Amino acid sequence: MQFDVAGKANHAITDILYGAPLCALSKKDGSIRPKSVGNTFRRLVAKLGCAHYRDSIGEFLHPKQLGFETKGGCEAAVHCCRTFIHQNTDTPEVLLKIDFRKVFNTVERDEITSPAWAAIEIINAIDRSIEVAFESISNISFGEQQWCIASLPIKFGGLGLRKASDIMLPAFLAFVNSVLGLITLMLQNITDETWRFPRHASINDLIKRALQTITVPPLLEPSIICRDDGKRPDRMTLIPWTNGKTLVWDATCTDTLASSHLEILTKTAGQVAENAAIRKCNKYKTIVDQNYQFLAFVAKTLGLWSNSARSFVNKLGHRMMVATGDARSKQFVIERISLAIQRGNPASVMETFPPSAAMEEIFLL
């Protein structure tokens, strides 16, 4: 882990460690949305590093950004922008949103993330555009010497029209210096403490919060009902869900690649989750006989959900859309549950490793 954070990972595995296969998802218009899924070990190192220095980095970045160490920060920023637009229709101010069409096929990431001084041709084109624009405004034609004088600071006799080629390197060095403390903080003495994100509790918490959004309060592990062996379900609603019946649910996340699932996995997609849902329903058959509506919310570690889980989220998302007026409510719930599962995966992988001080043995295989 220390090697990875410090940028000293073995070059023989960097393509695998830092690469990411693409998963093609369908958009509403029928086109393809490619999603990248990074290597579990690389993501695990990033999560552990960020978790260890979350508070310190958050203090460094606040309040200029909301995407790190601000729970629900991005959602709050989006809702604030939407509210600002709807409530300020008469203001001369505008909000500019920039988006790339088919960004995976049209944008070179090594170019867009490289420092400006490394792209001198682009910088010269920007300088030329500024020069042409000022000549058009002032109706004056500048020669090479006149433009050099005009681009000087005002205190040196120029017009203050600084050229990007003159300030790009100082601006880059100033930026590096401004984040030097943050970089040093992140790289010093990274420990191997494991930060766990239990999938089971996260899924239940997300379902509970979604139900509270539509004013359906849930109860944690209700003592009034239990199955034959005395174990209680995860949650139940305090008011009827459908057909006058109270909803009782129990969530689980089954391992897709378990040895007992491999034979089924190679024959039918999603059958592992369906079998787990059937087993869970059989365990809670006593509750169903008591006139409760039981939900077996089953998800697999690699993403697929049981039919009962998908049906429930579809109904829940529709009710949330009606209650909040946000057509993307269901999609937000799906994304949050999927992220909870992905957060738990690296924690589960990490738990399989024997105790290790620095994990140098990986490079000795």
Pairing of strands 32-36, 22-26: antiparallel
Please list, in sequence order, all residues whose beta carbon lies within 8 angstroms of the beta carbon of residue 348, skipping any fewer than 6 positions away: 301
Count of the separate structural domains present in the chain: 3
Q: State the pLDDT at residue 194.
A: 36
DSSP string, 230-246: S---SEEEEEEEETTEE
> Is the domain of 23 the same as that of 62?
yes
- What's the domain range around 44? 2-102
Position 76 in a domain: yes
Handedness of CA 106, 109, 110, 112 (dihedral sign): positive
Q: What per-residue confidence (pLDDT) applies to 189?
A: 45
DSSP 289-338: HTT-EEEEEEEETTS-B-HHHHHHHHHHHHHHHHHH--TTHHHHHHHHHH
89 and 118 belong to one structural domain: no
Are 267 and 320 in a shared domain?
yes
pLDDT at res. 191:
40
Return phi, psi of residue 145, to 5°: -70, -40
Residues 321 and 269 in one domain: yes
**Same-domain check for residues 309 and 216:** yes
Residues 133, 30 share a domain: no
Q: How many CB atoms lie within 10 A of CB 258?
A: 12
90-126 as b/e, with b when 16 or more CB fall inside 10 Å?
eeeeeeeeeeeeeeeeeeeeeeeeeebeeeeeebeeb
For tokens 């190192």, name the residue.
45
91 residue type, one letter: T
Nearest to 211 by CA among 313, 291, 131, 303: 313
pLDDT at 215 over 80: yes
Return the pLDDT at 351: 66
Provide the pLDDT confidence category of residue 266 given band limits of 50, 70 and 90.
low
Query: How far, CA to CA in Å, does 97 sit from each of 34, 78, 85, 100?
Result: 21, 11, 12, 10
* Residue in 193, 245, 220 with CA at minimum distance from that of residue 2: 193
Instruction: For residue 62, give the amino acid letter.
Output: H
Question: Which residue is associated with the tokens 């957060």?
Answer: 343
Spatial distance between the Cα atoms of 19 and 15, rounded to a whole number of angstroms:
5
CA-based angle 189:191:196, to the nearest 5? Answer: 150
Could you tell me what percent of the chain has a pLDDT over 90? 3
For 16-51, what is each residue's pLDDT tens digit?
787 777 777 777 777 777 777 788 888 888 888 777
Residue-wise pLDDT tens digits, 53-74 = 777 777 777 777 777 777 777 7
> Residue 102: its pLDDT value, please?
64
pLDDT, tens only, 316-351: 999 999 998 888 888 888 888 888 888 777 777 666
Least confident of 96-110, 159-173, 308-322: 96-110
- Minimum mean pLDDT range among 196-210, 212-226, 315-329: 196-210
Percentage of the chain modeled with pLDDT above 70: 83
Please state, in angstroms and rounded to a whole number, the distance separating the CA atoms of residues 254 and 276. Answer: 8
Q: Average of pLDDT values for 227-245? A: 84
pLDDT score at 107 = 61
Q: Is the pLDDT of residue 285 over 60?
A: yes
CA–CA separation, 49 and 45 (whole Å): 6
Compare 53 and 274 and report the one with higher pLDDT.
Answer: 274
The answer to whether residues 211 and 307 belong to one domain is yes
Last residue of a domain, one of 69, 102, 135: 102
Q: CA torsion angle for 112, 117, 121, 122 (degrees, to 10)?
A: 40
Residues 162 and 270 in one domain: no
Higher local confidence (pLDDT), 190 or 252: 252
Asked if pLDDT for residue 271 goes beyond 70, the answer is yes
Q: Is 192 part of any domain? A: no
Looking at the structure, do residues 264 and 347 belong to the same domain, yes or no? yes
Among residues 187, 215, 242, the one where a domain terminates is 187
Average pLDDT over residues 69-98: 78
Contacts of 153 (CB under 8 A, 6+ apart): 160, 162
144, pLDDT greater than 80 = yes
pLDDT of residue 104: 59
The answer to whether residues 93 and 148 belong to one domain is no
Asked if 159 and 286 sit in the same domain, the reply is: no
For 164-202, the pLDDT digits (tens) are 888 887 877 777 777 666 666 655 544 433 333 467 888
Closest listed residue to residue 309, CA positions, set 339, 274, 285 = 274
Residue 65 lies in a domain: yes
For residue 271, give the amino acid letter.
Answer: Q
Final residue in a domain of this structure, among 152, 187, 222: 187
Q: Residues 92, 122: one domain?
A: no
Instruction: Report pLDDT for 234.
Output: 85
